[in-house]
Structure 1
Amino acid sequence: MATLLHIDTSFNGENSHSRAVTAAFRKAWEAEHPEGTVIYRDLAAEPVPHLEAAAYYAGGTDPAFALRAELIEEAERADVILLGAPMYNYTIPSTLKAWLDHVFLVGRTSITENPSLAGKRAVVVTSRGGSYREGTPQHGNDYVENYLRLALGDMFGLDVSFITPELTLAPYVPAMAGLVPLFESSRTESLAAAESLAKELAVQLAA
């Protein structure tokens, strides 16, 4: 049976745009895989601790390695990894960075000829308050997608897709009022993309 690892990181709860899109993906996924498994972690509600020296240097049987082993094994069990990664101050939430630090294990998940996560699909929802597209004033200041392409794609060997609802601050910032239609369009497109990609991956796994 197919397994989805779903990780949310936004601290905005029901008002979160990244959570809305990951939820749309998960709903479509579960419709295609009613007998499947979903492993869920809400890193805003239950953050993993920052990686410390004891866990970094611990061997596989050391109690200090237990959490790392659990997080790595969850990722290895998954057929698809779904990450909500809103932009906070131009980069990923620190809670997501802590999770990545635990999962990044030299010789197993990374920096090895055959990383244990290689070839799996990852879907990242990178919501952001403004726009960082080419031609905008903030172009080049997005340190979410570039970093995650490196960490997830180059280091873990995952096949990564991004869905990016943007201009999420437009409804709340008066100076951005003229951008509300673009925000609404981006949100609609992101929700549709999440549903479509979930169905597409379900077909691929069934093949």
Structure 2
Amino acid sequence: MQITSEALERAIEELARLPGTGRKSAQRIAIHLLKQSEERVLTLAETLIQLKKSVSRCSVCGTITDRDPCPICNNPKRVNGTICVVEEFQDVYIIEKTNEFRGRYHVLGGIISPLENIGPDDIRIKELLTRLNSEEEDIQEVILALNPDAEGEATSYYINKLLLNYDVRVTRIAYGIPMGTELEFIDEATLSRAFASRTAF
């Protein structure tokens, strides 16, 4: 294939590195950007540069923020004493959308994964223990809200075992059958989890 524009080819290659973006999608995006005004493309470029420069991790909970501490940690209306432990900062956004949880968060920044050489020291478990030892927060409950896969389960188990030495209640979010789903469409693992996590009616 004869390449007519090296700049376009480089743009396609870089865009194809984005998660969930194959070469065809990257090509469509690059061509779309070419059709936009220079002002529009510069605005997008400046926004991406500003994103990289101004966004950092909250020193308390580990979520992404423009201010440190983040608005959740800095909000006096949030419920003190309850921390929800999640894997990544996008999990905070998902939980916040439900408007069900009014406590505070702790973002691990990953999960224990021996296959990828990620151990307990590579994620923010020490920071969680520091928060538990702090008198400022007076934590009474830790909610584990990690994904119900092998690595998430191993990480939850490890944290739960560590927290046995603390005067804190450890709970986990329920896993099971989603609302509005018929039993015939549920896989065996999810159905087993639903039976294991059953509660009183």
- TM bin, normalised by shorter chain, reads 0.3 to 0.5
- Computing the radius of gyration from Cα coordinates, the structure with the larger value is 2
Q: Which has the higher contact order (CA 8 A, sep 6+)?
A: 1
TM-score by length of 2: 0.34
